[in-house]
Amino acid sequence: MQIRKKIFRDHLANADYKEHIEAVSEVLPEFGETVALKGDKVGLTKVLEHKSILSQDFDLVMASFDVESHFTNVPVDETIDFILETIFVNDDDVFQGFSKVDFKKLLELAVRDTAFVFNDEVYVQVDGVGMGNPLSCTFADIFMFKFEQELLDNCPASFKPLFYRRYVDDTFRLFRDHHHCDLFLEYANASH
């Protein structure tokens, strides 16, 4: 998976943050308290104020990163394994009437070998999840949740973002300086 810097603004003076946050709100339209952003447009500003990030005595660097080719880069096997580990604590557990083995087969049937048409030719999706598959968004979001939890839990404190939120495949982050932003981008791209 490749992550790229999408928006990069110069140092963000604390006095000017609301104008910048409003601009980002147009790019990332839904915000909330969780890592995955949901809610209203002013939610991000409220979260930042609540966390006292903007009252710090230093300028901040605001960055937004984007996952390239998000759906086609979702590792299907890894995502299915994560789903199964989360739902089935023990191998003999039952979920919605399904055993772990049967639920795995159900997930595989739902996301593997998805056919699509391009230029009047029928193709089979062999990597990632297909854009038209109803489970694509769910799988992409589940994988991003797993990826970002591991990424943030293991990130060196020297350049870890002060603030991190995601909406689908776009992320909003605050850093202490440009160098931390670049180090984090390099770290994120080397992490998977």
Residue, of 62 and 92, whose pLDDT is higher: 92
User: Which of 14-18, 40-44, 181-185 tops mean pLDDT?
Assistant: 181-185
Residue spans of the domains in the chain: they are 3-70+145-190, 71-138
Q: What is the mean pLDDT of the chain?
A: 74
Closest residue by Cα to residue 63 from 3, 23, 8: 8
> Residue type for 26, please?
E
Residue 98 gets which letter from DSSP?
E
CB-side neighbour CA atoms (13 Å) of 86: 10
Banded pLDDT at 130 (limits 50, 70, 90): confident
Burial, 137: exposed, middle or buried (Cβ in 10 Å; 0-12, 13-18, 19+)? middle
SS3 at position 105: helix
pTM over 0.75: no
Residue 86 to residue 135: CA distance in whole angstroms: 17
| Phi, psi (degrees; rounded to nearest 5) at 44 | -65, -45
Helix or strand or coil: residue 122?
strand
pLDDT at residue 81, rounded to an integer:
94
Q: Is the pLDDT at 24 greater than 50, yes or no?
A: no
3-state secondary structure of 38: coil
- Which amino acid, 29? P
**pLDDT for 44:** 57
- Whether 175 shows a pLDDT value over 80: the answer reads yes
DSSP code at position 129: -
**Between helices 76-87 and 136-154, what is the axis angle to 10°?**
80
Q: Which residue has the tokens 């639920």?
A: 103
Are 151 and 191 in contact, with CB atoms under 8 Å apart? yes
